[in-house]
Chains A and B, each alone.
Chain A
Amino acid sequence: MITSTKPPAQEHLLRKAIFIAVAATVCITVVSVASAHDVFAQTRNPFDVGITEGGGQATGITGWILAKQIYFERMLSGAVRAIKTDRSALWTLLGLSFTYGVFHAAGPGHGKAVVASYMLANERALQRGITLSFVAAILQGLVAVALVSILALLLNVTSQRMRDVANLVEVASYAGIAALGAWLVWRKGSALLAVLRRHAPDIGPTPALAGATLGADVHIHGHDDHAHHRHAHDHDHDHHGHHDHAHGASVAAVDPHHVHDEHCGHYHAPDPSTLGANFSWGSALATVLAAGARPCSGAILVLVFALAQGLFLAGVAATFAMSLGTALTTGALAATAVFAKDIALKMSGGDSMRSLLLVRLFEFGAACLVLLLGASLFLGASVGGA
């Protein structure tokens, strides 16, 4: 029941400052959290297979997982060997590989980060996010198979040459992530700015925002008079705690798709059946490429080992079983991204203007993450690999 006594213009400025501060905080948090966990430290390991892998400390629970994985990898190579004498061991290998994919993907990896950030930045349909995760994981398997088929099976090059090529693929995929991130930052940044500008009374119609809100594509028609409405009803809104109440309630009751925010900006939420009309194949493809172009070390190792045992096809089968396992974990993360955004929106109390701002902030933060991740991985790998 607090009523605002500040002049509206001052309030706008204050809000704008808060929004920008929050956006900056999210970005800074991302950088500091990531750097604290050495995500960006990418020195080449003398025994890597051309792909840099993040690691963890052997303290606490990770040390225990480490001990388990020693056992686990022995089982994987043992299963490949067993196929020589017993063909039914293939099922054991596939089961192990699938599990390996599930748990291995639970570790740090930019693929997950890219898909999750994409989901945060775009808020597409959940099903599509899961599909993207699967396609990215299958692509990851395909790249590993192609790499080993061409280099080891056909050309029979040495491990050092394989490392060089795998490293090139990796650096290229990092560049792809950075490019995707830059594009997302530009798009989501302008969307965020557009929302922020709606607070300034001297700005004209806001262009339709890219992306979607609450899973639906939303078109916002800016109105020159929105600021005036806001001023007139400000007191009323605060009193009732319903920011869209005074002006929009009657309209919203008649047409649930047509709601007004406190600024009288008109949201035109389309019928759910038209959902996806705004779906960009380009950005989906870019995400799949960015998340899946870099093969996983485990797959390369299994493939080369299977080849050495004269069981290359078993290695290929194992690789795709791993991909399915990875897809499961990445898909779950994509779902979490959507739910996290949903929860944040629910916490905003159903106020459409706040919700929109939250969505834009989330999206911008996620876009920042993709750019930072790509840029630092690219720089780290090209420096570390040199």
Chain B
Amino acid sequence: MRFGCLGTLCRAAALSALFTTGFTAAALAHPHVFVTVKSSVVFGPDGKVTGVRQSWTFDDMYSAFATQGLGADPAKLPDELKALAKVNVEQLEEASFFTFLRINGRKQSEFSPAVDYNVTLDKDKIVTLSFTVPLKSPTAPGKAMVLQVTDPSYFVAFDFEKDKPVTLENAPGGCSLNLIQPSGLSAADQQRLKDVMNTNDSPGQDFGFKLASRAIIACP
């Protein structure tokens, strides 16, 4: 009987733990900002990568938010946009510009403060933020350099642009560029997701990779 009592308490503890897990582990990704990415890998004269030039176009909702209160006096708009770009790149520095470089398997995300930054608006007031992040120590890309633009917290959803999202600037001859882009899910994958939705299982480790984009640069 004593054991019965203890068992009950254990079950109670397990149940409360389970319940707590229920609402903290339900950490669903919910991006609020969507960015279309164009990146350019910049090479120095010695063939080493010196930095990455980013051009990010925001979705219409975030664009409206970012430009809120700007342009009341059209003459001041260019200055206001410059100030907006400055604030953005300064804050981005803490997030390592959401730019992740791996050269020959080693993380290479030590960047100097961004340069050449500006914000432009198209006719629909869609915001594009451009800036260059210089590498603290320029490195030769060697056999494999991987570039990813992503927000690990998934507040911002970054996606490479469909047409020529990554370019190489001043790259030495013989360098190649490969883009591994999310190709969308196959019918079989969709079915697998539907199945695991009901059973609450994981669809498998490779699923995240299917949805992540990366550029792979290789030089002789």
- The answer to whether residues A162 and B68 also contact, given A106-B28, A241-B1, A365-B16 and a CB cut-off of 8 A, is yes
Min CB–CB distance B6 → chain A (angstroms): 6
Q: Which residues of chain B come closer than 8 Å to A305, judged between CB atoms?
A: 60-61, 64-65
Interface size of B as a range: 35 or more
Show 25 A/B contacts (Cβ-Cβ < 8 Å), sorted by A: A4-B1, A37-B25, A46-B91, A47-B58, A47-B62, A54-B27, A55-B27, A58-B29, A60-B207, A61-B203, A63-B212, A69-B29, A77-B61, A106-B26, A106-B28, A108-B23, A158-B80, A158-B84, A159-B68, A160-B84, A241-B1, A305-B61, A305-B64, A344-B15, A369-B20
Q: Which residues of chain A come closer than 8 Å to B28, judged between CB atoms?
A: 56, 62, 65, 106-108
Which of A24-32, A88-96, A274-282 interfaces with chain B? Answer: A24-32
CB pair A26 B16 closer than 8 Å: yes
The answer for the CA separation of A26 and B62 in the assembled complex, in Å, is 40
Which of A177-185, A208-216, A264-272, A294-302 interfaces with chain B? Answer: A294-302
CB pair A66 B67 closer than 8 Å: no
- The answer to whether residues A67 and B211 also contact, given A26-B16, A33-B21, A61-B197 and a CB cut-off of 8 A, is yes
Interface of chain A, main secondary structure: helix
A residues sitting closer than 8 Å to B (CB atoms) are 2-4, 11, 15, 18-19, 22, 25-26, 29-30, 33-34, 37-39, 41, 43-49, 53-67, 69-70, 73-74, 76-77, 104, 106-108, 112-113, 116, 120, 152, 156-162, 237-238, 241, 297-298, 300-302, 304-305, 307-309, 333, 336-337, 340, 343-344, 347-349, 354, 357-358, 361-362, 365, 369
The answer for the CA separation of A77 and B63 in the assembled complex, in Å, is 11
Q: How many inter-chain residue pairs (CB < 8 Å) link A and B?
A: 261
B residues sitting closer than 8 Å to A (CB atoms) are 1-6, 8-13, 15-17, 19-35, 58-62, 64-70, 72, 80, 84, 87-88, 91-92, 94-95, 125, 150-157, 159, 182, 185, 193, 196-197, 202-205, 207-208, 210-212
Contact of A358 among B8, B72, B87, B91 (CB under 8 A): B8
